[in-house]
Amino acid sequence: MAKVKVALNRSGVRALLKSEEMKAMCAEKAQAVRARCGTGYATDTYTGKTRVNAMVWADTTQAKRDNAENNTLLKALK
């Protein structure tokens, strides 16, 4: 069997990682994690230097306490 060599188009991959489609996909995944956490959690997406980033965090005091006691965010990622 012959070996296949793949060469990535670096500028294309860079454009894909920073695209609006990728931002929408990351936002969708972050919203799904937030929904599994319950109330008091928030999400945000932003375009960084090299790619799109999404984050979920405990926004209220009650959610912060819940996360500290139960690792809610970590469990929601599984």
Dump pLDDT digits (tens) for 24-69: 999 999 999 999 999 999 999 999 999 999 999 999 999 999 999 9
C-beta separation of 41 from 63 below 8 A: yes
Q: 60: Cβ–Cβ under 8 A, 6 or more apart, which residues?
A: 39, 40
Domain boundaries, the chain: 12-77
Q: What tokens appear for 45 in the block?
A: 């997406």
Q: 70: Cβ–Cβ under 8 A, 6 or more apart, which residues?
A: none
Angle at 46 between CA 42 and CA 50, to 5 degrees: 140
pLDDT of residue 1: 75
Q: What is the mean pLDDT of the chain?
A: 95
